[in-house]
Amino acid sequence: MKIISHRGASAYAPENTLKSFALAVAMGSHDFEFDVHMTKDGILVVHHDFDLKRTAGKDVRIADLTWAELKKYNVAATFRRDRGFQYAPRLEEVIDVIGPAAKWLNFEVKNDHNVYPGIEEKLLAFLKSQHGMFEKAVVSSFDHGTLKRFRELSPEIRLAYLGHNLSTMLLLPALKKAKAVGAVNFHLALRIAFKFNVSRIKKAGFRACVYTVNEKKDALRMKEIGVDGIFTNHPDILGKWTLKG
C-alpha cells in the first residue's frame, strides 16, 4: 500500500510549500500528491485553493495574478506551527525537491469550469520535458471536463477519477464516468472507504486510493481491506504503522 504525502508533510509544515515537500522527502516519502493551478501569465504553480484566503489571509485569486505577483504572498501566514514566509511554488521547483526521491506522483489539477484554459496542454508538455516523469505521473481532477481533455490530448496519460460528494449510492455512476475517460485510479474519501465500496472499485479494474488518512486505526483498516494507497498529512508516522507493498 502506497503512503502518499498529501501536499507534502502538511501536518508539520505549510501545505504545498517547498518546506513541506522537503520535509516529506526527509521523512522517507517516495509517493507524493499536490495541486496544480496556473497563473495569469501561464505559469504552473502548486497550491490547493483557487484563492489565497485560507493560506495567506488574502482575498485574491491565482487566476488573476502573475507569477511575480503571486510570489509576494506568504501562504504560510495562517499555519500556526510556522508562519515563516513561504510562497506558492512553481511546479518545476516542487519537482526539483521531490523528483530524485519520487516513484509515484499525483498531479491534482484544479480546473473547475475550465478556469485555466490550456492547463492540460501545459502540464502534459511539462511531464514530457522531464526525464522519466511521464511514467511516474497520475493526473487527477474533480472536474470531469478536465479529465476528458487530458484523455483527448494523450491516450497514454494515467488518469485518476475524483468525485464530488460521493456516496455508496453514487459510486456506480462514478465508476462509469471513470471508465469513460479511461482512468486507472479511483480516489475516494475516507468516509466512504468501506470494504464493500473498495471491492467494487477494484472489481471494476481500478486501483483504489483513499484520502485523507491521518489516524493509525484508519491506516491499518485501509491496509486490511485492500486499498492501494492512502493520502496522509503524516507520512512519517503512518510509514511506521503500515506495511508497504
Condensed to tens digits (0 to 9), the pLDDT of residues 62-82 reads 999 999 999 999 999 999 999
What would the mean pLDDT of 136-154 be, rounded to a whole number?
A: 98
What would the mean pLDDT of 38-59 be, rounded to a whole number?
A: 98
- Count of structural domains within the chain: 1
Residue 10: count other Cβ atoms within 10 Å of its Cβ.
Answer: 26
CA–CA separation, 61 and 76 (whole Å): 16
**Prior bond of 242 cis (ω within 30°):** no
Question: Which pLDDT score is estimated for 226?
Answer: 97
Question: Which pLDDT score is estimated for 242?
Answer: 40
Query: b or e along 23-47 (b: 16 or more beta carbons within 10 Å of the residue's beta carbon)?
Result: bbbebebbbbbbbbbbbeeebbbbb
Concerning whether 144 is annotated as a catalytic residue, the answer is no
What would the mean pLDDT of 81-107 be, rounded to a whole number?
A: 97
Question: Which pLDDT score is estimated for 237?
Answer: 66
Cβ pair 217, 237 in contact under 8 A: no
Catalytic residue among 30, 37, 47, 48: 48
CA-based nearest residue to 237, from 11, 31, 7, 1: 11
Q: Which domain holds residue 159?
A: 2-241
With 0.85 as the threshold, say if the pTM is over it.
yes
Concerning whether 48 is annotated as a catalytic residue, the answer is yes
pLDDT bin (cut points 50, 70, 90) of residue 223 is: very high
Q: What is the CATH number of the domain that holds 197?
A: 3.20.20.190
Q: How many CA atoms lie within 13 A of 163 on its CB side?
A: 23
Q: Is the pLDDT of residue 150 over 80?
A: yes
Catalytic residue among 6, 30, 187, 234: 6
What would the mean pLDDT of 214-226 be, rounded to a whole number?
A: 94
